[in-house]
Amino acid sequence: MSGWLPMLVLVTGYFLGSLPFALWVSRAHGVDILKVGSGNPGMTNVWRTLGWKPALPVAVLDTAKGAAAAWFGVWLTGSTMWGLLGGIAAVLGHSFSFWIGFRGGKSVLTGFGVFLFLSPYASLAALLLWTFVMMMFGYVSLASILAAVGLPLFILVETPGGNPYSPVFWVSLPVCLFVIVRHRSNMVRLWRGEEPRFRGKARG
């Protein structure tokens, strides 16, 4: 494999991940998502602020950029590991986007996209867990944290023979830990009973 290919995978993954779709979609609706609600440039804040219709393309695009980064790494190098590393770069790009001063969202959907491409059944199981927790308790943050906890376990189940040496499983651990750490302020509010339940706006 040519020496420049791995660097291209990482740079492309970071660039894809850094695309701030929540910011661009909200600005198209006359709102700067960085200055309203939680100030977080992610799908949830768009939904809270503008409604589900603008939030839907943000969710799709944030997921797609993670999947695209992983796909590009595999396509270019033929290696699942480089697909994973490209996905990691996308996750970091989403959370530390150069477009908006190296700040960003919490990488839930971008990370979901990475593993949706590489481990689809486990990712869909994590999505079902997210949906169940969200419907039961109404906390986006809690649903995201528990889905991040569950994803590596679901990947282990999906892996033939439950192989604990699967690179997808091992890479999912730091990625999911990163997502959980990005929710540390939410965890404090959950512990204190101060985390707001999600009530999305009906308008679009």
Write the pLDDT tens digit of every residue in 116-157: 999 999 999 999 999 999 999 999 999 999 999 999 999 999
Rounded CA gap, 111 and 94, in Å? Answer: 9
Residue 200 lies in a domain: no
How many domains does the chain contain in total?
1
DSSP 97: B
In a domain, residue 75? The reply is yes
Q: Answer whether residue 199 is part of any domain.
A: no
Evaluate whether residue 43 is within a structural domain: yes
* pLDDT for res 202: 46
Q: Does residue 198 lie within any of the structural domains?
A: no
pLDDT in tens, 3-29: 788 899 999 999 999 999 999 999 999
Q: Which domain holds residue 53?
A: 4-192
Could you give phi then psi for residue 103, rounded to 5 degrees? -120, 175
Nearest alpha-carbon partner for 134 in 26, 44, 33, 59: 44
Prediction pTM value: 0.93
Question: What per-residue confidence (pLDDT) applies to 201?
Answer: 56
